[in-house]
Every structure is written in structure tokens, then in C-alpha cells.
Amino acid sequence: MLKSFGFLCFILFLMAAILVGCGTTDSGNQQENAEDNAATTETLNDSVANFPVTIIDDAGREVTIEEEPKSIVSIQASITEISYALGLGDKMVGVSDWCNYPEEALSVDKVGGQDMNAELILTLLPDIVLVTDYHHRNHEGILNQFEEVGMNVIVIGSKSNFDEVYDSIELIGKSTGTSKNAEEIITDMKQRHKELKEKAKAVTDQKKVWVEVSPAPDIFTTGKGTFMHEMLESIEAINAAGDQEGWVMLTEEEIVQLNPDVIITTYHLENLQGEITSRQGWADVSAVKNGQIFDVESDTVIRPGPRLIEGVETLAKYIYPEIFE
């Protein structure tokens, strides 16, 4: 009898323990769910709290955006790249005819270039239209139409160095509620550039680099005030056209006299080596004699967007492989 009573007490104790355990688990789940819901609400509130927001665009215009934009049109390739990098791809309803990156942009409606398809843009009725200073100077009437129907027009100006690109990323981020993403992109670019500059301190014999952005007979290069010039300087290379300003055209004879150690092209000729080595008088150029002719993706060295850092990394590996590979 005592054994039966003891067994009954054990069973009752075990059941009580199980019930307490279930209660604790339910309570824990409720607390966890409450914390998840609070975090989600906080995220939504943070997003909402960003708006309305007032920005000063690159034309010096004050623009107030009342609500987080749900649809965006971009009328320049670099602006489109920035927008996608910020995570705005699902909001892009129109891009320029020249937008080729990322691949998703190819399937978005094309809305023109310097000459905008105003009728189509008005049909799309985006919350934000990201335009260039060219559009602001030459199509003010059309931009006014956009604003009259409730679109927020934001002017993104021309850029010629990394700091200005960071400003563009920051401006677009603030305008679209993606400032955190913008900060992460900028931080990553700066860190990678800093690492390249640190490695470049190991360069003891600077190489002279000739950059061709278009082939013969009209050979253009990039002088001071261009991304390519800043890139070369940051990895301790010498721009062969560094005494020039901006984008300039030089003759084949002038280029031969510069005698560069490395030739970088950006136009993807099928027989690049043959085209350059066959030029009259170029056989004695150091870069030609040593086979130091390389082609890079033009958009990564001249388009003011997040991929510029990839351009610097590629140049570094081509010019100083013993240091950067």
C-alpha cells in the first residue's frame, strides 16, 4: 500500500513538472514572439521616421520627400547602378537606354537618355525621378511637368573623383530611405581603397601607364581630374598623360614619345595586341616590347558608381602583379 502511494506521488510530481515545463516554454515562446514583433515594428518605424526628408540636390534645389518612395526612374547608368546597389531594384520602373548593369536593369522599361521619353515617364508616374545636371540645364520644362504631377525630381551632378561618388551614394540613399545601405557601401569602398594604398607603399619603381579610352585614329586618354588619374595615383603609378586636363586626344607620335611601361585600354578590341603592336613606330615602346598591354572593363574605371573600386583593384593587379596578385 505504501509502495502504491509512493508511486502515485511520483506520478503526480512528474506531471506537475511537465506542466511547469510547458508553461515555461509557452511563456518563452510568447516572449520571443513579442521581441520579434517589437523588432519588426521598430524597423518599420525607423523606415517611416526617415520621412518626410528634405535634401539639397546637386543643382542646389531643396526637395522635400513626404513618404518613402515606392517607384523610381533613373535616367543615367551610374545612378541606376547606385540604386540597385542600395537595394532598390524592386522599385525601379524606368531606366535609361544605356543602363546595362546589373542584369536586372535590362528588363526594366527604357525611358530615353539625354532626350527623355517624357510621355512614358508621365505614364509610369514614379515617386522619384533621378536625373542629371544635363537634364536640369536642357529640359527644365519637362522636369517642371514631372513635379506638377507629384513626382520628386532629384538632380545628380557629374562626378570626377571618389569623394564626389560617395556624395552621390549618400544623397540617393537619403532620398530613398536607404541611408544605412549607403553608409555600408561607402565604408566598404573606402576600406578597400585604403588597403590598396597601403599595399602600394611597397612600390619602389613606379611604372608609367598610358590609358586609351578609344582606339586609333582618334586616340583619347584621361588626364587630371578623372577617375583613372586618381586610381593610378592611389596605387603609385604614373599617368603618362598626367600633365593634361580631363579627356584629351593625342597623336600616335606624341604617345610614342611618352614611352609608357604599361598600356591600358577600355574598348575591348578582338585583336587588341595586334592593333597596337602594328602601329607605326610603336615597336620600341616599352609596354609593347614587354607585352604589357591590358584591357579593362570601361564601366569600372569611368562610370561614377560602386564598381569603381573594382576598377582600381584590376589596374593594380595588371600594373604591379608582384605586389597585388
- Give the DSSP letter string of 18-73: HHHHHHHHHHHHHHHHHHHHHHHHHHHHHHHHT-SEEEE-TTS-EEEE-S--S-EE
* Calpha distance 88→68 (Å, rounded): 12
Q: Which amino acid is at 268?
A: H
**Which pLDDT value is given to residue 50?**
82
- The answer, yes or no, to whether the previous bond of 102 is cis (omega within 30 of 0) is yes
Query: Using a CB cutoff of 8 Å and minimum separation of 24, what contacts does 49-56 make?
Result: 50/177, 50/179, 51/177, 53/174, 53/175, 53/177, 55/154, 55/171, 55/174, 55/175
**Degrees, nearest 5: CA angle 133-143-156:** 30
**Which pLDDT value is given to residue 49?**
55
Helix (H, G, I), strand (E, B) or coil at 200: helix
- What spatial distance separates the first Cα and last Cα of the chain, rounded to whole Å? 84
Are the CB atoms for 325 and 313 separated by under 8 Å? no
Q: Which amino acid is at 200?
A: A
**Which pLDDT value is given to residue 25?**
44
pLDDT in single tens digits along all 325 residues of the chain: 433 444 344 344 444 443 344 344 444 444 545 455 444 434 444 455 589 999 999 999 999 999 999 999 999 999 999 999 999 999 999 999 999 999 999 999 999 999 999 999 999 999 999 999 999 999 999 999 999 999 999 999 999 999 999 999 999 999 999 999 999 999 999 999 999 999 999 999 999 999 999 999 999 999 999 999 999 999 999 999 999 999 999 999 999 999 999 999 999 888 888 999 999 999 999 999 999 999 999 999 999 999 999 999 999 999 999 999 8
Q: In what order do the strands lie in the sheet with 208-212?
A: 238-239, 208-212, 262-265, 293-295
**Domains of the chain and any CATH numbers:** 53-186 (3.40.50.1980), 202-320 (3.40.50.1980)
DSSP state of 235: T
* Calpha distance 77→112 (Å, rounded): 11
**Which pLDDT value is given to residue 39?**
44
* Calpha distance 59→132 (Å, rounded): 9
| CB proximity list for 96: less than 8 A, separation 6 or greater | 74, 75, 76, 77, 80, 110, 111, 112, 113
Are the CB atoms for 102 and 82 separated by under 8 Å? no
Could you tell me the CA-to-CA distances from 84 to 70, 147, 233 in Å, in that order?
A: 14, 24, 29
Residue percentage of the chain with pLDDT more than 70? 85
* Calpha distance 33→25 (Å, rounded): 12
The β-bridge relationship of strands 220-222 and 247-249 is antiparallel
pLDDT tens profile 139-194: 999 999 999 999 999 999 999 999 999 999 999 999 999 999 999 999 999 999 99
**Which pLDDT value is given to residue 201?**
97
Are the CB atoms for 247 and 213 separated by under 8 Å? yes
